[in-house]
Structure 1
């Protein structure tokens, strides 16, 4: 049977609609904000138009108000939305809200779906995910935040959290805490839904990072917060997925989040390459067009190659997801590759722009400082490489070849 890369007509149609949406509405809206228009007003206008066009919640089933797209169609859509920092927000497809919606849909009780999922679906509320701690870092099993029952139908949480992205704009926090220290390592933790503001969940500060900080960026949810949790009372009915299932809930949401980051990285890299190519076709140095210089052509070729590999990775993962196949190995490989790919392409685009690229007259400098986080968030490169390497060894021991851990099912 032939390998078929034909994109179904319905997927082509929705990709075209979203591409037009981003180019005609989201990117011009960025300019409106840059000229001083209020972010909340701009976003409200965008969302009203998006919903009127049926462009809302692409990853959610139709019966929950979404577009009902499968993994392939959603991947194509996300690879367009990421060209604008308003793209995902305009269609209520932004992280970390999107992954939490999917987790609530799959594992939430009817009560939790009614009380918490519905406002997320409508775009009325936002969420943050509080898992990471200073003491634990990449090893989430080192978490020290505890949750104990008080005998009155509640859990009481105490501890601290670190880099809780979007906590400053969140109405709900999804918090992971240790409920059974004597259980197996990955069954010690549980996940709780916490309504905000709450005196037991205190934002200490928005952690300064190398990314550009502004009031608007923080309103959009770009802040990463340090949290103090002290005698935080959470009703037992707000336990998500069952006691001891915190890691299962975390992996459910992080798996999608990693892919969404990668899809948006492809979109950003594509826009960066477009900006760079437009610039070199307009510039001349020493009496010769930049586009005619072999060194410049090599730089563009390397970026194009990286983007090609990235798209193939995502299409293969989408294919496996469409068919209910295990995507964990490919997801880990792609997460690392896509984070480094976008860094390489944006860096090259800056270089090709010269001093203009280093300035803030183009979006490239802002993107560059922001995307460095991609090699850290949702697990640093080294952890994913470690797991990938373990799977290579496991495949060899099982099969006498490493093919199963290196895309061998393609052949």
Structure 2
């Protein structure tokens, strides 16, 4: 017998998180646009801590809840129903801070845990991730142009970064820069932690993006942003090197791997909300004397949405299960990243279409979600790169074993 049920303690945890989101976070979310975003976050965080809901993925000895990947996945599914991100910030598990905290935990030194991780876990600081560059293909993590040269016990960084999400509101930056251009390809870069603001780390602007459309905020408030950054003779103490010299690619991949799981769970939450809205519309709306939901063509659209959501849930939970057991998830993560992004865009698009012009308006959240969902085809690597890697693994698996089962879910059965 295959048991898909969760342990009682995880079901209880999910219920507690759901109750907190419904009773505390969602009412606060209604105040967005009238009150500053970070003021609401500051009110919510003590309430989450008092409820025992804080940093679900961080071990208890470092101040978190100590959940495994399955437990954290359930938390993210409930937190994801707060579509402004307030739920994530309330529990201190919002991107980009969450994944970077885990990276510092796993790759940072004891000194870095004390100086950088502790304030992050306590909610006293926020961190951004500066890797992407405008002149380098976003998928080419080994082709970065930002340089790092060692002078005595100080690293000097120079270059430009693009889409450093959250930099404008962060107190810390993790920067990936090329420290060893003549080393093997995956050992050329290193990772550095820089306290902000810092001389030599200059934010040029926050890049306007499609996902900003319709986002409620008080006038001139910076909620998140995707910064364009110029780095000029930025001095970084050698003690701020994360891991060892040449670990930059490893550190970056570690961080991005967790982020894809979190994005998957929250995408499922958003797609479920969109499908619920679509079903409600189909029940309440009549056309030519018949309910919209009684039309076969409409039922087919709803069926396709339910199918894709079902597949997405199984994919993401399987990845969480494999992470829980310490298994390699590279293949499954790449496949799921593309599928979940397609699923989210498709479900929201159908829900918007079924609402007609009302769905296209900003009176409903669907148009805003649609704009934001487009970014999921680019975030954490464009779809094309993940498809390329998955296809390459299919060929490699066949050449190695004579079957492609190992890269097509074959470990399930």
Give the TM-score category using the shorter length.
over 0.9
Measure the CA separation in 2 of the matches of 1:42 and 1:321.
Answer: 33
1:224 deviates by: 0.9
Q: Say whether 1:276 aligns with 2:278.
A: yes
Conservation of the 8 A alpha-carbon contact between 1:165 and 1:221: no
Would the alpha carbon gap of residues 242 and 219 (structure 1) be closer, same or farther in structure 2, given more than 3 Å must change? Answer: farther
Which of 283, 287, 290 does residue 288 from structure 1 map onto?
Answer: 290
Residue 201 of structure 2: aligned partner: 201
Residue 53 of structure 1: aligned partner: 51
Measure the CA separation in 1 of the matches of 2:178 and 2:254.
Answer: 18
Measure the CA separation in 1 of the matches of 2:216 and 2:149.
Answer: 37
Conservation of the 8 A alpha-carbon contact between 1:26 and 1:46: yes
Measure the CA separation in 2 of the matches of 1:401 and 1:220.
Answer: 51
Measure the CA separation in 2 of the matches of 1:221 and 1:202.
Answer: 18
Residues 141-180 of structure 1: matches in 2 within 5 Å? 141-151=142-152, 153-180=153-180
What is the TM-score when the length of structure 1 is the normalising length? Answer: 0.96
Measure the CA separation in 2 of the matches of 1:45 and 1:208.
Answer: 28
Residue 309 of structure 2: aligned partner: 307
Measure the CA separation in 1 of the matches of 2:22 and 2:306.
Answer: 21
1:219 deviates by: 5.5
1:40 deviates by: 2.4
Aligned residue pairs, count: 408
After TM superposition, the runs of 4+ consecutive aligned structure 1 residues lying more than 6 A away are none
Measure the CA separation in 2 of the matches of 1:148 and 1:174.
Answer: 17
Measure the CA separation in 2 of the matches of 1:119 and 1:280.
Answer: 48
Would the alpha carbon gap of residues 79 and 351 (structure 1) be closer, same or farther in structure 2, given more than 3 Å must change? Answer: same
1:320 deviates by: 1.2
Conservation of the 8 A alpha-carbon contact between 1:135 and 1:142: no
Q: Say whether 1:30 aligns with 2:29.
A: yes
Per-residue CA deviations over 1:187-231 (Å, capped at 9, x if unaligned) read: 010000011111200111111222225683995753111110000
Per-residue CA deviations over 1:2-31 (Å, capped at 9, x if unaligned) read: 322121111111111112222222222111
SS in 2 for 1:346: helix
Q: Say whether 1:410 aligns with 2:403.
A: no
Measure the CA separation in 1 of the matches of 2:209 and 2:217.
Answer: 16
1:41 deviates by: 2.5
Per-residue CA deviations over 1:165-197 (Å, capped at 9, x if unaligned) read: 111111101001111111001101000001111
Measure the CA separation in 2 of the matches of 1:67 and 1:353.
Answer: 41
Per-residue CA deviations over 1:17-64 (Å, capped at 9, x if unaligned) read: 112222222222111224x12322222221121111011111111122
1:332 deviates by: 0.7
Conservation of the 8 A alpha-carbon contact between 1:201 and 1:228: yes
Structure 1, unaligned runs of 5 or more:
none
Measure the CA separation in 1 of the matches of 2:289 and 2:248.
Answer: 63
Would the alpha carbon gap of residues 219 and 406 (structure 1) be closer, same or farther in structure 2, given more than 3 Å must change? Answer: farther
What is the TM-score when the length of structure 2 is the normalising length? Answer: 0.96
Conservation of the 8 A alpha-carbon contact between 1:169 and 1:219: no
Measure the CA separation in 2 of the matches of 1:107 and 1:353.
Answer: 48
Residue 329 of structure 2: aligned partner: 327
Residues 223-238 of structure 1: matches in 2 within 5 Å? 223-238=225-240
1:90 deviates by: 1.2
SS in 2 for 1:409: coil
1:377 deviates by: 1.2
Measure the CA separation in 2 of the matches of 1:371 and 1:391.
Answer: 27
